[in-house]
Structure 1
Amino acid sequence: MTIASGKQKSAQYTASMAQAPIPQEQRSGLSRQLVTSELLDTATALFAKKGYESTTLLDIAKALGISRPGLYNYVSSKEELLIMLVEQVSQGLAEVLEQLTARADLSPTQKLRDVVALLVRQRTQHPDQFRILDRSETVLPEPVGSEHREAKRKILREVMAVIETGIERGEFRPVDARTAALSLLGMCNWVAWWFSRGSDVEETVATVTDLAQNMLVRPGAPGPEAETTRTVEEIRTLLDRLAPRR
């Protein structure tokens, strides 16, 4: 998809949405999704501040400005919040990465840049979600604990596949794919721990993406500028797919 065609489709879609009324059921679904997203961000911020065990559902309800019975419309326990985090942070990300790495129209170098940009952007926009889930891995209830671990393994496999293909095609230096993939994921995940709110997200994304490319791409290999450029809006569209599924 070219930038021009993407913008044209976006404009056409926006115009059609402006003309056509949104069904009540769809409005309700969008509203619930927005509230659930805010709920996760609020809850994880409290978990980070007070600790998971010390935070109550009443604390979360007060922070959201709703009653505790109102909160039960979205979640019934703190464990359910952890389940929602797994669905969004690990399972959702694994599914999006699988779709991205399967694209035949992108070279390994561009896939590498897109994967890193997606990971870093998610970590900068929702750092508390990643940090709390990372800290809570050992207390996740089953079967969600096993699902989370499998999603992490899937993410590793997808990144390894990109690196292995890049090596086979001569774009990447011959390195151990698993070690390189773990190093890339560690670099991206660590952003959630040091990124400061209010800092420039785009600058951070660009810097880490360039570092990842420089780490793997063989000198003299074609750069992403020789390919169809993907826009920031496309990356954000991928992130939108990680919305909570409640």
Structure 2
Amino acid sequence: MNDISTKATLKGEALRSAILDVAATLFIERGTGGTSIQDIAEALGLSRTAVYYYFKNKEQIQQSLTEEVLSAARKLAGDTVARDDLDPVTALRALVTQHADLILSRPAEFRVADRTEADLSPKQRVSVQNARRNVLENFSHVIERGIREGVFRMVDAHVAAFSLIGMCNWSAWWYKPEGRLDRANVAEIMADMAVNSLLREAARRPEVPDVRESLRLVREDLDYLEKLVLSDSK
């Protein structure tokens, strides 16, 4: 590929990305039904023909905004869980870091996916729901493994996974790229919070001896042992 064609490709990718960004903003503000190709073109100072060059209709734009980013989230989570060299703590940290970073890098797409799911076609809606379910299952799998190995506290893995994913997803609404911290710092903070919220050992050493806290830890140990016994008996 020569320099001219390379530059043309990069320009085309940038314009396609700009169309998606503007469309996402308009979809959130007006809804997909209240936004036309003409609205998107005017917001960018383009002709409708220029927009049609990249997307044949508004539905294709919406599909790109929802399915692409969620498919990326599903692939990242799946690739991490498939790695045999990662212990549960490292795997969970990786899951949260990469999921948060993806959202922080593409917040508009996640907001659209969250707000306009009802406007999707049945086929698109199934694809989006399957992607979300797959991410949830991967998070739950890592948390369950951490519980089995005695690394994480005895919690409902499904609820914990929902909570951590929700924490990441919410960043699409409040994160500002021009803010005090860049997205790598924010993703790292969220990963630390996720891991520390589940680590079993951290809660086992109260700074001040306390009878109630000690009893709570004993009950936690009993719950953990009971789950091990029940899983072994199956």
Give the TM-score category using the shorter length: 0.7 to 0.9
Report the AA paired with residue 202 of structure 1. A
Task: Determine whether 1:152 maps to 2:109.
Answer: no
1:162 Cα deviation from its structure 2 partner? 1.1
- Highest RCO, 1 vs 2 (Cα 8 Å, sep ≥ 6): 1
Gaps of 5+ in 2: 204-234
- Counterpart CA distance in 1 for 2:188 and 2:72 is 23
Which of residues 52, 59, 65 in structure 1 aligns to 2:39?
59
* One-letter code aligned to 1:203: N
Distance 1:24 1:89 in 2: 29
Residue equivalent to 2:221: none
1:203 to 182, 185, 188: 185
Q: Report the number of matched residues.
A: 201
**Partner-residue secondary structure (3-state), 2:85:** coil
Superposition pairs of residues 51-130 of structure 1, within 5 angstroms: 51-130=31-110
* SS in structure 1 of the partner of residue 201 of structure 2: coil
Deviation at 1:181, TM superposition (A): 0.6
- Aligned-residue CA RMSD in angstroms? 2.3
Q: CA deviation at 1:135?
A: 1.0
- In the TM superposition, residue 125 of structure 1 has moved relative to its aligned partner by 2.3
Deviations 1:163-215 (A, max 9, x none): 11212222212211111111111111111122234222233222211110111
Decide which moves more: 197-206 or 127-136. Answer: 197-206
Match of 1:176 in 2: 156
Using the TM superposition, give the Cα deviation of residue 151 of structure 1 relative to its aligned residue in structure 2, in angstroms. 0.9
TM-score norm. by structure 1 comes to 0.73
Report how far residue 26 of structure 1 moved: 7.0
Cα 1:170–1:31 change in 2 (3 A) is farther
Question: Does the 8 Å CA contact 2:32/2:119 hold for their aligned counterparts?
Answer: no
- Indicate the SS of the match to 1:72: helix
Of the two, which has the highest radius of gyration?
2
Tell me the TM-score normalized by structure 2: 0.76
Please state which structure has a larger fraction of its residues in helix: 2
2:66–2:109 Cα contact (<8 Å) kept? no
Of 155-164 and 105-114, more deviation after overlay is shown by 105-114
Matches of 1:63 and 1:32, distance apart in 2: 18
Gaps of 5+ in 1: 1-20, 222-246
Q: Deviations over 1:104-159 (max 9, x none)?
A: 22221111111111222222222221112111111211311111111111111111
Is residue 81–residue 138 contact of structure 2 (8 Å, CA) maintained in 1? Answer: yes
